[in-house]
Amino acid sequence: MIQADHLTKSYGPVTAIHDVSFNVDKGRIVGFLGPNGAGKSTTMKILACFMAASGGRATVAGFDVFSQSLEVRRRIGYLPENAPLYGDLPVAAYLDFVAEAKGVSRSLRRSKVADVMDRCSIADMQHRLIGKLSKGYRQRVGLAQALLGDPEVLILDEPTIGLDPRQITEIRALIKSLGGQHTVILSTHILPEVSMVCDSIIIINRGRIVAQGTQSELVQQVFPAARVEVEIGGPPAEVAQALKALPGVTSVEATVSGDGAARIVVESPRGRDVRGELTRLVAARGWELLELHKVGLSLEEVFMRVVAGEEHAPQIVESVQGTA
Amino acid sequence: MGWLPIFKKEMRLYFGSPVAYAVATFFLFIAAFFFAPSFIQYAEFSMRSAMQPQMGQTLNATENILRPLTYNMAVVLLFFIPMLTMRLFAEEKRSGTMELLLTYPLRDGEVLAGKFLAALTLYALILALTLLYPITVAWFTKIEWGAVLTGYLGLLLIGGAFLAVGLFVSSTTENQIVAGFGTFGALLSLWLLGWFADSAQGALRTVVQQTAIIEHMDGFAKGVIDTKDLVYYLSVIAFALFLTLRSLDSKRWRG
């Protein structure tokens, strides 16, 4: 549904994005993740036909964003960063203007506007001037205008910014419900949001895509090893030695906890569960198993590794890009 | 029909804020300032001529009151048009709404047409209000309506040309104040060009004279529709709108 091929954009001497390529299938929700200034907004502006790329090409719903921009614009709903709106117009009048601009026929306009106001829960504010609304309401008016005209593709630049926790939950649920019929691409730097809402993730840093895939794919790419953290009551050096010798264990990392017990992180190849062998070993030696848990590899860790690790360990990034 | 939603939105913004009312009041006030003294003077003059009939031969209400009024209103437009156009693109660029506007399925030309026609309509409405003055004169004496309406056609054309220039200047900046002053400066330069014609020689003199925007108002004020004046104003409008389109297009490239 959305295809970007080697997109490049430079503002004068500054390169905002470099060689960005990705693919989004119909009905999927894709999260664009990256630190500020990574090039998320630039990519979205190009896809939304606001800006022309300096190099490469992109298609949305099979139409080229540059040469068939009008066709693309008929099929997208776009919410720019910070939801720029006309402060001097009341909500309902503004949405009516958007519906008309998007070519919604006169007879359907009123019901379509009422429908999106309902879905974004702004109906009770429809006669207020947009300029007088709080940030959360403005953001939802922005989302409502993107939804008008039932676009096949939604491009949402930080849709939940400035909302309170309850509104965030509502908007996330709304976006999640859009998946299936609509193809959604959204940017954010709130990591849990991506895990909750998106089917797959594209991580972008300093203008380049550094990793892409579903969350579990990303975790596997970035951390090939599974990790278990244990706390065992027993002589620390001996415990570490014994664990290291256990079949399937590739490495151990030992620290001594405050009360003299051994605190150890055990790594094994992904898919090889060593917890059974580990507990039997502890029991056989007569030590005490004080704690045992799998270290969950969150998106946060993946993100930190991929983004922060770029300066320290470029080889990791290369291998990730290769398999993505 | 893509221009219609833009047109409606701009009209709503004009009338939803004090802009339309403030500009209309200001324009009518200044126009009255020019109208009232010449009207009163004319009335006194015609009263005296009732006693000395030979004086009455030069009395002509259209020529003595309305022709200078048309010309003076054209001068007032220099100050007044930038206020109508400065917001149109600069504000959208500054607030970022331009980004949304350009991603709706509308051609740049339709966006421009909607904005231009909205400004032109508001201007025409305000101009129509000034018809009050010729009607007042017509109440007391006979006037030549043909000449008066030709003057109004001229005002509509010169206003349209000013609006087009204003739109172009507004499309080049994000700052309304810069857009306003820029437009005023551009219009004033086009106006003052006429003064320099006298010091120029030969062909250059003709070129400068014909480029000056006010020169072409003379015919209309007299009640003469000359093709060259008509073509002049229409070309200024077309050229300025064309430049605006290019300016919008360049925005897409620069981002």
Which residue in the set A84, A88, A101 is minimally distant from B5, CB to CB? A101
User: B115: which chain A residues are within 8 Å (Cβ-Cβ)?
Assistant: none
Over the stretch A89-137, which tens digit does the pLDDT of each residue have? 999 999 999 999 999 999 999 999 999 999 888 999 999 999 999 888 9
B96: nearest CB among A9, A73, A84: A84
Asked if residue B3 lies in contact with residue B114, where contact means CB atoms within 8 angstroms, the answer is yes
Residue B207's pLDDT is 84
Indicate the range of A247-261, B75-89, B110-124, B140-154 predicted with least confidence: A247-261
Judged by CB atoms closer than 8 Å, whether chains meet at A11 and B254 is answered as: yes
DSSP state of A54: S
Interface confidence, given as ipTM, is 0.87
Paired residues of A77 in beta bridges = A154
Beta bridge partners of A60: A2, A63
Among the partner-chain residues A51, A88, A145, the one whose CB lies closest to the CB of B13 is: A88
- Once rounded to an integer, what is the mean pLDDT over residues A261-288? 84
Residues of chain B with C-beta less than 8 angstroms from the C-beta of A93: 12
* The CATH number of the domain covering residues in A224-294: 3.30.70.1340
- Please, is A112 exposed, middle or buried when counting C-beta atoms within 10 Å of its C-beta (0-12, 13-18, 19+)? buried
Per-residue pLDDT band at A310 (split at 50, 70, 90): low
Reported as a pLDDT band with limits 50, 70 and 90, residue A250 is confident
Nearest-neighbour CA in chain A from B30: distance (Å):
28
Q: Picking from A30-44, A283-297, B98-112, which range would have the lowest pLDDT averaged per residue?
A: A283-297
pLDDT over 90 at A1, yes or no: no
For the segment B214-222, the average pLDDT, to the nearest whole number, is: 86
* Three-class SS state of A50: coil
CB B10 within 8 A of CB B115: yes
- Select the more confidently predicted residue: A157 or A294: A157
Is the sign of the CA dihedral A204, A208, A214, A217 positive or negative? negative
User: Which has the higher per-residue pLDDT, B144 or A261?
Assistant: B144
Cα B47 off chain centre by:
35
Q: Is A55 touching B (CB cutoff 8 A)?
A: no
Single pTM value for the model:
0.85
- A314, pLDDT greater than 60: no
Residues of B in contact with A52 (CB under 8 A): 252-253
Q: Please write the tens of the pLDDT for every residue from A197-237.
A: 899 999 898 888 888 888 878 877 777 778 888 888 888 88
Q: What is the DSSP string of chain B?
A: -THHHHHHHHHHHHHHSSHHHHHHHHHHHHHHHHHHHHHHHHHHHHHHHHHSGGGGGG--HIIIIIHHHHHHHHHHHHHHHHHHHHHHHHHHHHHSHHHHHTTSS--HHHHHHHHHHHHHHHHHHHHHHTTHHHHHHHHHS---HHHHHHHHHHHHHHHHHHHHHHHHHHHT-S-HHHHHHHHHHHHHHHHHHHHHHTT--HHHHHHHHHH-TTTTHHHHHHT---HHHHHHHHHHHHHHHHHHHHHHHHHHHH-
| CB distance A29 to A179 below 8 Å | yes
CA distance, residue B133 to nearest chain A CA (Å): 34
Q: A9 and chain B: CB distance < 8 Å anywhere?
A: yes
Q: Where in chain A is the domain with CATH 3.30.70.1340?
A: 224-294
Paired tokens of A145: 């205008």
Taking 60 as the threshold, does the pLDDT of residue A322 lie above it? no
Residues of B in contact with A73 (CB under 8 A): 103-106
Q: What DSSP assignment string belongs to A196-247?
A: HH-SEEEEEETTEEEEEE-HHHHHHHH--EEEEEEEEES-HHHHHHHHHHST
Q: To 10 degrees, the CA torsion angle through B108, B114, B119, B125?
A: 160
Distance (Å, whole) CA A70 – CA A120: 27
Q: What is the token pair recorded at A176?
A: 């999640």
User: In chain A, whose CA is at the least distance from the CA of B254?
Assistant: A11
Interface with chain A: mutation pick from B99, B110, B249, highest number of A CBs within 10 Å: B99
Task: Test B104 with A48 for CB contact under 8 angstroms.
Answer: no
Q: Lowest mean pLDDT: which of A228-242, B19-33, B54-68?
A: B54-68
CA distance A103 to chain B (A): 8
Give the distance from residue A50's alpha carbon to the nearest chain B alpha carbon, in angstroms. 6
* pLDDT of res. A301: 76
Domain with B141 in it: 3-254
Residue range B155-202, pLDDT digits in tens:
999 999 999 999 999 999 999 999 999 999 999 998 888 787 778 788
B197's CB contacts (< 8 A; 6+ apart) are B205, B208, B209, B212
Test B100 with A84 for CB contact under 8 angstroms: yes
Q: Which residues of A touch B5 (CB under 8 A)?
A: 97, 100-101
Beta carbons of A89 and B102 less than 8 Å apart: no
Band (pLDDT 50/70/90 cuts) for residue A321 is: very low
Delimit the CATH 3.40.50.300 region(s) of chain A. 2-220
User: Regarding beta strands A63-64 and A76-79, do their DSSP bridges make them parallel or antiparallel, or are they unpaired?
Assistant: unpaired
Tell me which CATH code domain A2-220 carries.
3.40.50.300
Burial of B253 (0-12, 13-18, 19+ CB in 10 A): exposed
Query: Which residue has tokens 């050096």?
Result: A237
How would DSSP label each residue in A112-175? HHHHHHHHTT-GGGTTSBGGGS-HHHHHHHHHHHHHTT--SEEEEESTTTT--HHHHHHHHHHH
Give the total number of structural domains in chain B: 1
Determine the pLDDT at residue A257. Answer: 67
Tell me which of B4, B17, B102, B103 to substitute to probe the interface with A (most A C-beta atoms closer than 10 Å).
B103
How far is the alpha carbon of B129 from chain A, nearest alpha carbon, in Å? 26
What pLDDT is stored for residue A220 in this prediction?
Answer: 78
DSSP string of A58-76, one letter each residue: EEETTEETTTTHHHHHHSE
Residue A315 has pLDDT above 70, yes or no: no
Q: How many CB contacts within 8 angstroms connect chain A with chain B?
A: 72
Question: Do A70 and B99 make contact, defined as CB atoms within 8 angstroms?
Answer: no
Q: What percentage of chain B reaches a pLDDT higher than 70? A: 99
Q: What is the pLDDT of residue B92?
A: 93
Is A85 at the interface with chain B, CB within 8 A? yes
CA distance A90 to chain B (A): 10
pLDDT score for A317: 38
Counting beta carbons within 10 angstroms of the beta carbon of residue A32, is it exposed (0 to 12), middle (13 to 18) or buried (19 or more)?
Answer: buried
Q: How far apart are CA A120 and CA A145, in angstroms?
A: 10
